[in-house]
Structure 1
Amino acid sequence: MLKRYAATFLLPFFFASCRQQQAADLIIYNGVVYTVDSAFTMAEAIAVKDGDIVAVGTSKDIQERYKATEMVDAHGQAVYPGLIDAHAHFLGYGRSRYEVGLYECTNWAAAIEKVKAYAARDTKVLWIRGRGWDQNLYPGKEYPDNKELNELFPDRPVLLDRIDGHAAIANAKALELAGITADTKLTGGKVEVKNGKPTGLLIDNVVDLVARIVPKPTRAEHEQWLGTAEADCYALGVTTVADCGLPYEDVMMIDSLQREGKLNMNLYVMLSDDGSTYKKYMQWRATALAGNDADARKHFAGEGPYKTSKMYVRGVKAYADGALGSRGACLLKHYADKPGWGGFLLSPPEHFDSLAQMLVGTDMQLCTHAIGDSGNRMALHIYKRHLQGRNDKRWRIEHAQVVDPADIDMFGECSVVPSVQPTHATSDMYWAGDRLGADRIRTAYAYKQLLQQNGWLPLGTDFPVEEISPFRTFLAATARVDAKGYPEGGFQPQEALSREEALRGMTIWAAKGCFMENEVGSIEVGKKADLVIMDKDLMKAAPGDVLKTKVVATYARGRKMK
C-alpha cells in the first residue's frame, strides 16, 4: 500500500516561514513522485543541489524551503528514480548500432539483403560485422549456412552474431583467417560440419577464434559507440547500467572518456573472465597502490574494487554455458527437440571452482552466466562450497533461466542473487517449450520463485540481446506478455511480479545487485539526483498502454540529459 506524503518529509509551515530559503540548483514540483524508498513512500517535489538530492516532500514545503535556478513543473506526471539496467552490454550495444542489424529478419534471405546493403554503403570497412539473426524466426527453424556469404564476399571476411551472442555465421574467408577447419575442436564450442566442410555456423567458444582477429576498434570508434549507447539509454530514462563482461582495455578506455567528460553514463562494470583481464586489472591496481598513480590510487577501496563518480568496477563475469536458443545451454537431460544432445559447459567445473576460490577472500563479486539447469546446478554448488551459508557478498547468477526445482533453495541458503531479464521469458516462450519439453518449461523463467529466495530481485534487459526498452521489461515482468500482448493471460502468469516489485527490480534492487544502493536507485536525501519524468504512471497504466509511455525528461546528477 502506498504511503502518501509521509510526515517524515514535511516540516510545519511555521518553521518554513521563519527561515530564509536555501539555495538549490533544481526543483521538480507538482509531480507524482515514487521515491522507491523502503516504505515505497509518495511525494510531490524534489530539491537538488550540486547533483545530489537535498530534500523530498510536498510542492508547498519544498518551494517554501528552497529557491532554485531551475524550476520544473511536472504537471502531475509520474517521477521515478533513474532506471537501472542490472544486466546489459553497454559497449556491445553501442557497437551493434554501427553494424548490420539482423534483428526481426524472418528468414535468412532478408538477412542476406541487409548484409549486401551494408557492404555497399561501407566499402572501406574490411570486416563485415553484424548481429541479431535468430533461426527460430525462420521457416523450419533451421540454422543458416555461409554459402551465399561465400559467393558474395569471397575476399572480405564476414562474421554475423546470433541474437544472443552465443553463436555466429562466418564466411569462408573469416574461417580461413581464423584457421578454423572441419577438424577444429575446442572445449565449450562447436564447429558445425556438413559433408566434411564447415557450414560457417560456430557455437559459443569457437566464435571467439574469429572475433579475436577482428581489428581492434579505434578510440574514435569507442567514443562514437559509447556516446550512442548513452544517448539511447537517457532517452528511455536509464541512468545506470551494469556492463557485463568487459576486457581490461575497454574498461580503461571508458574510464578515460568519463574523466574527459565525453561519457557521463553511470556504469557498474564486470570484468570478463578471459584469462587475462582480471590479471591485468590487478596488476594495474597493484601499481596504483604502490604509489605510481596517485589519481587512480584514491579510487581503490577494499580488496579489488575500483570506483570513481561514474564507474564502479567490482564484478567478474564468468560463463557457465551458452544459450537455450542456440542449444548451447547445458541441461541435466537432453534437449526435447534434439535427442542425444544436452549442450555443454564452456569451461570445466574446475575453472569455475578456482575462480570462486580466488575471489571469495576479496571484495570482488562473482557473476556467472548460467542458462540451463545443469549450468545453474554446477554454479550454485560451487558458490555454496565457497560461500558457506548466508552472507553479503552478493555473488550473482546471471539469467537463472532453467533451474531444477531441487536446486532453487540454494539461492536463499547462500544469499546468491538471481539476476534476471523478464523479456527473455516473453521472447523465448514461442520455442522454449520445444527445447525443454512440457515438464521443464513449467519451472523455467520462474521469477516470482527466485524473488522469494532473498526478498529482492534485480532486473535487466541484456541489451542488445533484447531491446533496450525498460518499458518492455516492466510489461514482461508484470503481465508476462510481449509487445504484441501475447499470450492472453500471460506466459506462466504465476511467475509475474507485482508492479511495485518490478519497479524496485528496475531501481533500488538493481542498485543493490551492484552495491550501489546508497547512491542511486531511490529518491532519497543524499543520493544522486538521477530522475526520470514519464507521461504515464507505470503503477496505474493498463498493460496495453505501458509500451506507449514516453520519457518527458531524464536527469543524471541533476543535469537534464533528455
Structure 2
Amino acid sequence: MKKILSLLIIVFVFSCQKEKQQVDSIVINANIYTVNTNFDKAEAFAIKDGKFVQVGTNESIQSAFEADTIIDAKGQTIVPGFIDAHCHFLGLGFNQQAVDLVGTKSFDEVVNRVIDFQNENNLDYIVGRGWDQNDWEEKEFPDNVLLSKLFPDTPIALTRIDGHAILCNEAALKLGNVNASSKIDGGEVLINNGKPTGVLIDNAENLVMDHWPKSSRNDMVKALLAAQNICFDLGLTTVDDAGLGIEAIEVIDSLQQIGELNMRVYAMVSASSKNLDYFLNKGVTKTDKLNVRSFKYYADGALGSRGALLRAPYSDKPNHFGLLVTDLATFKDAAKRISNSKFQMNTHAIGDSANHVVLKTYKEVLQGKENRRWRVEHAQVISPEDFSLFNDIIPSVQPTHATSDMYWAEDRLGSERVKGAYAFKDLLNAYGKVALGTDFPVEQVSPFLTFYAAVARQDLEHYPAGGYQINNALTREETLKGMTIWAAYSNFEEHEKGSIEVGKFADFIILDKDIMTIEVKEIPNIKVEQTFVGGKAMR
C-alpha cells in the first residue's frame, strides 16, 4: 500500500509540472542589450518560426522551452541586427565590379589603378568609384588629359566618392556629345581654357551615363549577392537602399522569394516621373523582407564637390552657392502627390538652403497629416533657426560624414556656419530620434565606424583630441537606438524589428566585445561572431 501511495505521489508531482514548449532554438548565457523601451538587459531568449517568443533569464528560458538547437553565447554580447538607415546596397555590389579608387592619395594613383584594373579585365567600358580630390596634395578637380591619352577608344567614367561628380575621358564624353556649350539644369560641366575638363557635376553626369550600356540582370544579381555577403559579415540585417529603380526592386523581390537574398531591404524608389506614376498606382509593397513605401528625391549636391546649395556663397569659392538638383516646381508637385498617398518622402539635402527649402515644402504639404515620418537624408548643414522645423520631420544622418569632412568642411562653410553642420545631437533634441546610416559606398560599410564616429567624433587616428564639435556627439545608448529601433521606426517597422522583444523578427548579432562598455577607441575593432536573420545564421 505504501509503495502504491508513493508512486501516486510521484505521478501527481510530474503531472503538475508544466510541459516545456518546443521551439526552434534557444540562446543562453548572453549579455543581451534588448533595446526595448526601458533598454533592459537579458541573458537568454527563445526563437520559433523566425521570431522571438520569450526573452529573459537563463532559468526562465530553460525552464519553459526546449529546442534541438541551443546556442551558448558564453557571455558574449548580443544586440539587435543593425539597420543601415541610408546606404546604396546595390551600388556597393556594383562597386565590386569596378575600379576601387577609395583612399587614393593622388590623381596619378587613380590612373595607375585604372591601368591595373584594365590589364586584368580588358573591358569595353570602364567604371570606377572612390576618388576624392580633398585627399590629394593638389586639391583641385582633375582633368581627363592623361586618361584620354592612355585610353583613346575606351570610355571611362570615374565617380567621385560622394557620387555627385564623375571624371570622363574624351571617349566617354563623345557618348553624350558633351562639349563646352553643354548645359543641364541642376548640373555643371566644368570648363578650362574653353574645353570640358571631363568633370561633370550632379545632373551633368546624365549627359554621359544616359548613354552608358545598361547592366544586365545577371550583373545585378551578382552585385546584390556580393553586397549581401559584405553586409552580413558586418552585422547588418536590414538596409535602406536610397535610390532604386523598378527593375532593381523586382530583382530584389524575386531573389528574396526564392531564398537567395536574405537581407531585408527598405527600398527608396529613385525619383522620376515614371517611377512616381508607377508606384503611386501600384501602392505600397510589403513582405517580411521587402518594404517599398518611400521615394528618394535630391534637393542639392554634395559639399565636397561644392554642389550643396548654400544660403550664402561658399567661403572658399566666392559667388558660388551650389546647385538645386531638382527644380522647385517639380519638387513641390511631387511632394503634394506623395502626401496624398501612403508613401514616405525622403529627400537628400546637404546645404542650409536645400534643407530650408525641403523643410518648408514638407510643412506646407503635410498640414493636418500626422505620423507621416517624412525624412531629410543627411540634414548636413542647418541654419540655427531651422532646427525647430525638425519637430515632426525625421533626420536621417550618417556619423562618418562628420569625421570624413571635418578636415575641409570649415573651408567650405566658414567658422560660424560650420557650427550648424553634422549637428546630430541638436537634430536628436529637435525630433526625439535620429536614424543612423553610413551612405556606403560613399563611406565604409562598417556599422562600428558609424558607432565610433557618433560617440567619439574622431577619425581612426583619434583626431582631433576631444572630438570634432563634440557637443554634437551622441551617447552609446542613443547611437545603438539610432542603428536599431529608431532606424526601424523611420521605416515604419518598429513593431517587427529593431529590438529583441517577443513577437519581433529574430534578427540579432553576436559580438566579440561589449560595444556599450569597451574603451571607445576600441569600438572600430569589434568583430561580428555571427549574424542571424529570422533566427537563422547568415555567417
Q: Is the 8 A contact 1:248 1:278 kept in 2?
A: no
Pairwise CA distance, 1:40: 0.3
Distance in 2 separating the partners of 1:560 and 1:337: 50
Q: Deviations over 1:329-383 (max 9, x none)?
A: 0000000000110101012211111011101111100000000000001101101
SS at match of 1:126: coil
Match of 1:498 in 2: 475
Match of 2:268 in 1: 270
| Amino acid paired to 1:310 | K
Distance in 1 separating the partners of 2:396 and 2:538: 27
Relative distance call for 1:118 and 1:66 in structure 2 (3 A) is: same
Q: Is the 8 A contact 1:360 1:386 kept in 2?
A: yes
Q: Deviations over 1:446-474 (max 9, x none)?
A: 10010011211110000000000000000
| Amino acid paired to 1:361 | N
1:410 pairs with 386, 389, 401, which one? 389
Q: Is the 8 A contact 1:16 1:61 kept in 2?
A: no
Match of 1:489 in 2: 466
Pairwise CA distance, 1:275: 2.5
SS at match of 2:25: strand
Aligned length: 527
Distance in 2 separating the partners of 1:265 and 1:60: 33
Match of 2:145 in 1: 147
| Amino acid paired to 1:525 | V
Pairwise CA distance, 1:127: 1.0
2:410 pairs with 409, 429, 433, which one? 433
Match of 2:83 in 1: 84
Bigger Rg, which one: 2
SS at match of 1:435: helix
Match of 1:238 in 2: 236
Match of 1:55 in 2: 54
Match of 1:341 in 2: 320
Pairwise CA distance, 1:61: 1.2
Pairwise CA distance, 1:388: 2.1
Match of 2:105 in 1: 106
Match of 1:66 in 2: 65
Distance in 2 separating the partners of 1:354 and 1:15: 70
Match of 1:536 in 2: 513
1:443 maps to 2:420: yes
| Amino acid paired to 1:380 | L
Distance in 1 separating the partners of 2:525 and 2:162: 26
Distance in 2 separating the partners of 1:537 and 1:212: 47
| Amino acid paired to 2:357 | M
SS at match of 1:220: helix
1:192 maps to 2:190: yes
Q: Deviations over 1:57-95 (max 9, x none)?
A: 001111111111211111111100001000000001110
Pairwise CA distance, 1:140: 2.8
Match of 2:226 in 1: 228
1:398 maps to 2:396: no
Q: Is the 8 A contact 2:280 2:341 kept in 1?
A: no
SS at match of 1:512: helix
2:259 pairs with 258, 261, 267, which one? 261
Q: Is the 8 A contact 1:485 1:544 kept in 2?
A: yes
Distance in 2 separating the partners of 1:552 and 1:516: 26
Pairwise CA distance, 1:15: 12
1:351 maps to 2:350: no
Greater CA deviation, 204-213 or 450-459?
204-213
| Amino acid paired to 2:160 | R
Structure 2: which 5+ residue stretches go unaligned?
A: 1-12
1:547 pairs with 524, 531, 536, which one? 524
Match of 1:136 in 2: 134
RMSD over equivalenced CA pairs, Å: 1.4
Distance in 1 separating the partners of 2:215 and 2:166: 20
1:251 maps to 2:249: yes
Q: Deviations over 1:303-335 (max 9, x none)?
A: x21111210000100000000000000000000
Relative distance call for 1:404 and 1:468 in structure 2 (3 A) is: same
Q: Deviations over 1:505-526 (max 9, x none)?
A: 0000000001111111000000
Q: 1:195-214 counterparts in 2 under 5 A?
A: 195-214=193-212
Match of 1:309 in 2: 288
Relative distance call for 1:144 and 1:16 in structure 2 (3 A) is: farther
Relative distance call for 1:57 and 1:193 in structure 2 (3 A) is: same
Relative distance call for 1:52 and 1:401 in structure 2 (3 A) is: same
Distance in 1 separating the partners of 2:368 and 2:445: 35
Distance in 2 separating the partners of 1:271 and 1:543: 37
Q: Is the 8 A contact 2:510 2:531 kept in 1?
A: yes
Pairwise CA distance, 1:17: 8.3
| Amino acid paired to 2:347 | T
Pairwise CA distance, 1:389: 6.1
TM value normalised by structure 2 = 0.96
Distance in 1 separating the partners of 2:24 and 2:111: 52
Pairwise CA distance, 1:222: 1.2
Q: 1:513-532 counterparts in 2 under 5 A?
A: 513-532=490-509
Structure 1: which 5+ residue stretches go unaligned?
A: 1-13, 286-303
1:362 pairs with 330, 333, 341, which one? 341
Pairwise CA distance, 1:262: 1.6
Runs of 4+ in 1 over 4 A off after TM superposition: 14-17
SS at match of 1:98: coil
Pairwise CA distance, 1:202: 0.4
1:45 maps to 2:24: no
Pairwise CA distance, 1:170: 0.5
Relative distance call for 1:269 and 1:17 in structure 2 (3 A) is: farther
Match of 2:3 in 1: none
1:454 pairs with 416, 431, 436, which one? 431
TM value normalised by structure 1 = 0.92
Distance in 1 separating the partners of 2:278 and 2:174: 30
Q: Is the 8 A contact 1:16 1:65 kept in 2?
A: no
Match of 1:472 in 2: 449
Distance in 1 separating the partners of 2:220 and 2:15: 50
Match of 2:121 in 1: 122
SS at match of 1:210: helix
